Amino acid sequence: MLKEQQAMLELVFNLVRGNTEHISKVDFIPQKPSFYSLPESGQKLPRSMPEEQGIDSDQVRGLMEDLLSLSKVDIHQVMILRHGYVIGECHYAPYPENLWHITHSLCKSITGMAIGMLIEEGGLRLDDKILGIFDKSVFSIRGFQQRNLTVEHLLTMTSRVAFNEKGAVACNDWVQGFLDSPVNGPAGLEFEYNSMNTYMLSAIVTEITGQSLMEYLKPRLFEPLGITRIFWESCPKGITKGGWGLFLCPEDAAKIGQLCLQKGVWNGRQLIPRRWIDEASTCHVETPKQFGEYGYGYQMWMAGRPGSYAFNGMLGQNVMVYPDLDMVIVTNAGSNELFHTSLLLDTVAKYFEGGFTPGEKLKKNRRAYDKLLKFQNRTGLYDTRFPAVSYRGLKKILWNGSESYKRRKLILGVKGRFFKLKKQHVGLFPLIMQVFHNNYTDGISEAGFFTKDRKFYFCFREGEKPYCLEVGWKEARITEMDMHGESYLVAVKGQAAFDEDGYTVLKLKISFIEEASSRLLKIRFIGENIEMLWNECPGKDLLMTGLDSVMTGGTSSFLLDSLMEKDTIGLMDLLMDQTVCPKVLGEEDHEAGERFLREVPISFTL
């Protein structure tokens, strides 16, 4: 077994056992700033009625409504451009307008653009050998297998290097890990998706220029486009991650898509070489079925219309570019789908691929446009996707009385009460956020409920630090919180009910509105005790698919295969029951509330 597989298995087992202390083998350095600490962009895209750009308002609204109706998609933001004009933009509550959003692998395409710029500047060639770029002191005998590996192999995901995403949890030096890795086969012959290929492209930029990828792109791409609210995570060695870790506003993502549509020209300046856009958006390698049928270019996915392509990130992060339509479509979501093929992209294709042929300008349809605006405004205010309360083990929830009655009774019954939890390994962050940001929980030990100035708060102690999150009832309330020195925006919406036994139930939807992840927390109050049932989205099935994909990744091991096949206490059941959706019991602690309020003021709510 590779040491990276061993590290991943240790991480999984520690999470399952609730052992979060010193869980990571990778040094954690706080990086993520507050979104509001960065200046707002002064460069906005122009707006237009859809009909003025040849698209029917009903078609734009239809796509937005369909995406909202699909619970598996969990759409957050949509922006549609034609001829460089924004003709549709919708943010779905509780996700605010044009807040930055995690892009996941969408940012790979941006890393590819940096390589194109570096080649144009004469600092790099597609056929440059990777072993010839880096300091020879990092090589090993095993890394000699990579002697024919080139920059182009990294761009096309055909390196076949075994060091993949699991390396990000195994060590601090990812360049060394990659160059010291065996290969799964000869380079250039077979597509094998590996985010570490893109990380190495970022490392190449740093090795050649002495700048991080972010530093390199700032004057060449971000500043000319007016992109100011942007953040890209780095590895412990200070190299921009390249293949993941980018937070980008949807309008800024749309600008980059529009830049590619304009063959790299922005305000008369050639920012990206035209020939690079053409080469990157051309199919260079066929992909396995689960990745779609159109193939892969240079860090870009080919799409359904002739000449179309996409920047794609898991869970619904997309920039789709349609040159023949002169259109760009941007989505952010928390979809429960992992790969490039997805219900979200199928829905977009239903409206704008196939035989769709727009005009250049349509007659104004004020009624249709007003319906579009009304829909966009309504979805921005009200989260219609928050379902009725349900509870594991109960077939029925009794909704006696009005919403306001149940809410008042719940608040009167729980305010000022605090509980000490018996299991103290569960944290607020979903599992996927902890792993991706290397920001692991210290475990929630206490939880309670307070009111102040007619506001209701869910409070908890994670590690030694107390937190207070305001709960909204009709609309989610957003709180900015600090988790180990990093800023995160959290939206919380609550519902109150009584179960069939007459116990009060509080359901909280906890949305991490810069992320593709959310939590559902159901709390049942039983005398002086509480029962807390946690769940998260993406759920167990997707997490297991992703884990299986990363862990196997062209290699196998007896231990891993055995773990994945066990019918009894299998890895899947352990993850689901103890990690992804744990059940936590608590007993009332009359002194904890007073101690809690002495330590922390109620958090500022946006």
The closest alpha carbon to 327, from 347, 299, 351, belongs to 351
Q: What is the mean pLDDT of the chain?
A: 88
Q: For 195-229, what is each residue's pLDDT tens digit?
A: 999 999 999 999 999 999 999 999 999 999 999 99
Tokens, residue 600: 């922390």
Is 384 a residue whose pLDDT tops 80?
no
Tokens, residue 237: 């060695």
Q: What is the pLDDT of residue 572?
A: 53
The closest alpha carbon to 192, from 542, 556, 546, 553, belongs to 553
Q: What is the pLDDT of residue 339?
A: 64
Across 129-134, average pLDDT: 93
Task: Return the residue matching tokens 């909704």.
Answer: 399
Please calculate the CA angle 240-243-244 and round it to the nearest 5 degrees.
80
**Strands (DSSP E) found in 484-528:** 486-499, 504-512, 518-526
Q: What is the pLDDT of residue 169?
A: 82
Q: What is the pLDDT of residue 392?
A: 43
Tokens, residue 223: 């500043």
Is 396 a residue whose pLDDT tops 60?
no
Beta strand 504-512 with 486-499: parallel, antiparallel or unpaired? antiparallel
Please calculate the CA angle 549-280-219 and round it to the nearest 5 degrees.
100
Q: What is the pLDDT of residue 574?
A: 56
CA torsion angle 408 410 416 419 (round to 10)? -170
Is 486 a residue whose pLDDT tops 90?
yes
Q: What is the pLDDT of residue 445?
A: 95
Q: Is 107 helix (H, G, I), strand (E, B) or coil?
A: helix
Tokens, residue 221: 């791409």
Q: For 444-479, what is each residue's pLDDT tens digit?
A: 999 999 998 899 999 999 999 999 999 999 999 999
**Strands (DSSP E) found in 275-352:** 301-302, 309-313, 317-322, 327-333
Task: Return the residue matching tokens 């608590």.
Answer: 586
Please, which residues have CB within 8 angstroms of residue 454's CB and are 6 or more apart in sequence? none
Task: Return the residue matching tokens 């062209």.
Answer: 554
What angle do the packed helices 558-565 and 3-17 form, to 10 degrees?
30
Please, which residues have CB within 8 angstroms of residue 568's CB and are 6 or more apart in sequence? none
Q: For 32-61, what is each residue's pLDDT tens digit?
A: 999 999 999 889 999 999 999 999 999 999
Q: For 302-329, what is each residue's pLDDT tens digit?
A: 999 999 999 999 999 999 999 999 999 9
What amino acid is encoded at 380 in this protein? G
Is 13 a residue whose pLDDT tops 90?
no
Is 397 a residue whose pLDDT tops 70?
no
Q: Which of 130-134, 402-406, 491-495 has the lowest mean pLDDT?
A: 402-406
Q: 6: part of which helix (H) or strand (E)?
A: helix 3-17
Are the beta carbons of 5 and 555 closer than 8 angstroms?
A: yes
Which pLDDT band holds residue 388 (cuts at 50, 70, 90)?
very low
Q: Is 325 helix (H, G, I), strand (E, B) or coil?
A: coil
What is the pTM for the complete model shown?
Answer: 0.92
Which pLDDT band holds residue 555 (cuts at 50, 70, 90)?
very low
What amino acid is encoded at 361 in this protein? K
582 phi and psi angles, rounded to 5 deg:
-75, 155
Cα dist. 6→194, 467, 486, 557 in Å? Answer: 18, 35, 28, 10
Is 335 a residue whose pLDDT tops 50?
yes
Cβ neighbours, 10 Å, residue 581: 16
In our burial notation (b when 16+ CB lie closer than 10 A, e otherwise), range 462-473 reads bbeebbbbbbbe
Across 483-510, average pLDDT: 94
Q: What is the pLDDT of residue 423?
A: 82
What amino acid is encoded at 34 in this protein? S
Q: Is 181 helix (H, G, I), strand (E, B) or coil?
A: coil
Largest CA distance in the chain: 73
In our burial notation (b when 16+ CB lie closer than 10 A, e otherwise), range 71-81 reads eebbbbbbbbb
Measured in whole angstroms, the distance separating CA 370 from the mean position of its chain's CA atoms is 32
- State how far the Cα of 468 lies from the Cα of 479, in Å rounded to an integer: 8
414 phi and psi angles, rounded to 5 deg:
-120, -15
Across 364-386, average pLDDT: 90
Q: What is the pLDDT of residue 5?
A: 66
> How many Cα atoms occupy the beta-carbon half-sphere of 401 within 13 Å?
14
**Strands (DSSP E) found in 267-368:** 269-270, 301-302, 309-313, 317-322, 327-333
Which pLDDT band holds residue 558 (cuts at 50, 70, 90)?
very low
Which pLDDT band holds residue 147 (cuts at 50, 70, 90)?
confident
